[in-house]
Amino acid sequence: MRSLLLVLVTVSQPPGQRTRLDDDAAAALFAGLGGCVRDVDFVGWYREGYTAGAVMPQPGNAPGDVIHRVRERVIDALRQQFPDRPTEGLRVRVIRLGAKARG
């Protein structure tokens, strides 16, 4: 059985306030997120101007720590895109949908 990972990324601008991302920040967000996905994954707006999302199909036998690994990879990529932004300004959530996690 296959499952999906839903990755949701919000960048606070300025930190601590939820405002619509400007074009430069949105481009940096998608560049960072786009560098973390495969050809079979889909990246787009979850909530346009505020939260980007990626849908990542996973095999049913994906390791239990895949959520942690994906989250860390996305955070690392976003830190490179937003070097002056505090880590608290980046919110990354990874949710497994479908098959139960094996651990």
Domains in the chain and their CATH numbers?
Answer: 3-98 (3.30.70.3000)
Percentage of the chain exceeding pLDDT 90: 45
- Averaged pLDDT for residues 62-85: 88
pLDDT at 93: 94
Tally of residues, the chain: 103
DSSP for the chain reads --EEEEEEEEE-SSTT---PPPHHHHHHHHHHHHTT--TT-EEEEEETTTEEEEEEEE-TT--TTHHHHHHHHHHHHHHHH-TTS-GGGEEEEEEEEESPPP-
Report the largest interatomic distance among the alpha carbons of the chain, rounded to a whole angstrom.
41
Res 1 pLDDT > 80: no
Summarised one tens digit per residue, pLDDT across range 16-66 is 666 788 899 899 999 999 998 998 999 999 999 999 999 999 876 777 788
pLDDT at 19: 74
